[in-house]
Amino acid sequence: MLELLNFFEGETTEPANGGGWWVWVIFGVLLVGMILLMVIPQRKQKKRQEEMMSKLAIGSIVTTIGGIVGEVVQLDDTNIWLLTGVDDNKSTMQFVRQAIHSIAPAPGTPEAEEIARAEKEKENEVDEIK
pLDDT at residue 118 tops 70: yes
What pLDDT was estimated at residue 113? 81
Confidence category of residue 106, pLDDT binned at 50, 70, 90? low
From CA 32, how far away is CA 54, in angstroms rounded? Answer: 33
- What is the reported pTM? 0.56
pLDDT at residue 130 tops 90: no
- Average pLDDT on 97-120 reads 82
From CA 40, how far away is CA 42, in angstroms rounded? Answer: 5
What pLDDT was estimated at residue 129? 77
From CA 107, how far away is CA 61, in angstroms rounded? Answer: 8
**3-state DSSP helix/strand/coil percent for the chain, to nearest 5?**
50, 20, 30
